[in-house]
Amino acid sequence: MLYYLFNYLEENFDFFGAGVFQYISFRAGMATLVSLLIAMIFGGRLIKILHRKQVGESIRDLGLAGQMEKKGTPTMGGIIILLAILVPTLLFARLDNIYIILMLVSTVWLGIIGFLDDYIKVFRKNKEGLAGKFKVIGQIGLGLIVGYTLFVSDDVVVRQYVNGATGALSAVDASPTYLDVKSMITSIPFRKNNELDYCTMFSFAEPIFGQWACFLYIPFVIVIITAVSNGANITDGLDGLAAGTSAIIGLTLAVFAWISGNTIIADYLNIMFIPNSGELVIFCTAFVGACIGFLWYNSYPAQVFMGDTGSLAIGGIIAVLALIVRKELLIPILCGIFLVENLSVMLQVSYFKYTKKKYGEGRRIFKMSPLHHHYQKVGYHESKIVSRFWIVGIMLAILSLATLKLR
């Protein structure tokens, strides 16, 4: 909103300093600062309100060190994260940008699903919370919205350059002549000619679906959003783990959004230029600021937990951001912590069921899943586990950024 206000003041009154709002770098910096302030100032007040309402986490005794000390710690702290993302984005981003609209819808949509889950757990005293099928339905609903919008919207385009000799189009080989076209291409990491067209990839289904085969992109989007959202939800098991890991991922996606939306840098790095995607930097920096600001209260020992209100939302946000900047195939690397946490649960459950059926007694691969609880059982202190997971997350982020050159 402030972008439009100061743009109006500059055009009509030549207002001193108003032109600075034209710069994404300035608005991104301001979004980070405001999100940090909202998280830290509003967070303290919300924690007091949650204490008064006795919105405490019910802890199931799993025999983990320091676990029962957390009983009664306020949950639903994800509200802090949501507000610290939404308010700066509404203030500093261009709200007519299709990508910003998608991110706002994704944040609110999954935030509501997570809030309902926490509300049922806390106020209805139902430890199961919102039924799993309704969570999945909500995630599928968001996947349909995001996938369909990216697939059909005329505002979602990529810049392709015309080869003067052959007339062929390329998303990376810059030439003086270009077209902003509707295209379902994405980037393949570690490959020199790294364009993948989803319509070509799903052409195998043409005998069954005919001209609708390309629409298989939408179920692909649903799978990505559901997987990453649930991965963040599972990772949220130790103080500061999910928030810190998400901040690292968010900062990496901010870099991708910035270079993908800057024609000069995209040309220099020989990567795909996505018109108008640079505006996502404001959202990304607000997201990073919200996660770091939340750590003010969520770092060990936590004064508040984010609950599903926060964890489902931050996972979905990361997935949608990656899809928009065409880096979704990097998710296994960039979101490696989420992936490993997810896999540890799947492997544990599958192996237990298999051995119980074969030997009449269930056996385990890990002492406990998700993986962070395994390390607790081994004897590592909670803060050490979180710090080392953050270090691994930083290494994965650097490797993800290195794919810009490692081809």
Report d(CA 311, CA 392) in Å as an integer. 20
Which residue carries 């990496």 as its tokens? 252
With a cut of 60, say whether residue 61 has pLDDT above it: no
Express as a percent the part of the chain with pLDDT over 70.
92
Chain centroid to CA 36: how far? 18
With a cut of 80, say whether residue 71 has pLDDT above it: no
pTM: 0.93
Arithmetic mean of pLDDT, 54-76:
67
Q: Tens digits of per-residue pLDDT, 155-171? A: 999 988 776 555 566 67
Q: Tens digits of per-residue pLDDT, 308-357? A: 999 999 999 999 999 999 999 999 999 999 999 999 999 999 999 999 98
Report the b/e string of 245-277 with b at 16+ CB within 10 A: bbbbbbbbbbbbbbbbbbeeebeeeebbbbebb
As given in the structure block, the two tokens for residue 386 are: 């979180």
Closest residue by Cα to residue 99 from 146, 140, 48: 146
Identify the H or E element spanning 185. Answer: strand 185-187
**SS3 per-residue string spanning 299-333:** CCCCCCCCHHHHHHHHHHHHHHHHHHCCCHHHHHH
With a cut of 70, say whether residue 54 has pLDDT above it: no
Facing residues of 405 across strands?
none
* pLDDT on residue 142: 96
Going by pLDDT thresholds of 50, 70 and 90, the confidence category of residue 277 is: very high
Using a 10 angstrom Cβ sphere, with 0-12 exposed, 13-18 middle and 19 or more buried, the burial of residue 280 is: buried
Arithmetic mean of pLDDT, 130-147:
93
Work out the angle between the directed axes of helices 307-324 and 241-260 (0-180°, nearest 10): 20
Report d(CA 381, CA 393) in Å as an integer. 18
* pLDDT on residue 151: 93
Peptide bond into 301 cis (omega under 30): yes
Q: Tens digits of per-residue pLDDT, 290-309? A: 999 999 999 988 899 998 99
| End-to-end CA separation in angstroms for the chain | 40
Q: Tens digits of per-residue pLDDT, 195-214? A: 888 988 888 888 887 777 88
Determine whether the annotation assigns residue 233 to a binding site.
yes
As given in the structure block, the two tokens for residue 336 are: 């490696």
